[in-house]
């Protein structure tokens, strides 16, 4: 199962991790994995392209950690984009509850 953990700071998204494997289908054919990866990497690209947020992340197979640079955490547009990402991931989790879980407190 993919686990997405959202880290909040003063009611703002400050970081997130995505780890694990969806195990919906074999490698290379797993649409849940592809969907989650597309949402997350698309958002990292959008943050850089639209708001100039440098992409600060660590990645290895089955794991991604992304942190929002401190000076961008309170940027309203950055938060709108990140909340959009969380909503897209929740939608995916709603459709595939046995394969992805979003922890956002």
Of 77, 58, 61, residue with least CA distance to 13? 77
Of 64, 101, 69, residue with least CA distance to 86? 101
pLDDT in tens, 56-105: 999 999 999 999 999 999 999 999 999 999 999 999 999 999 999 999 87
Which pLDDT belongs to residue 27?
85
Domain spans, the chain: 2-104
- pTM, two decimals, is 0.93
What the block records as the tokens of 93 is: 């989790």
Of 12, 82, 13, residue with least CA distance to 50? 82
CATH code 3.40.50.300 for 2-104: no
DSSP element (H, E) containing 57: strand 57-60
Measured distance CA(30)–CA(21) in Å, rounded: 9
């Amino acid at each position: 199962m993919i686990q997405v953990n959202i880290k909040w700071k003063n009611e703002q998204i400050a970081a997130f991790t995505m780890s694990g494997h969806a195990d919906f289908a074999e490698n290379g054919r797993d649409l849940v994995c592809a969907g989650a990866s597309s949402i997350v990497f698309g958002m990292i690209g959008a943050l850089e392209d639209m708001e100039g947020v440098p992409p600060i992340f660590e990645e290895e197979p089955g794991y991604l950690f992304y942190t929002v640079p401190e000076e961008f955490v309170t940027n309203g547009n950055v938060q709108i984009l990140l909340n959009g990402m969380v909503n897209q991931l929740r939608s995916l989790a709603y459709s595939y509850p046995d394969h992805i879980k979003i922890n956002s407190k």
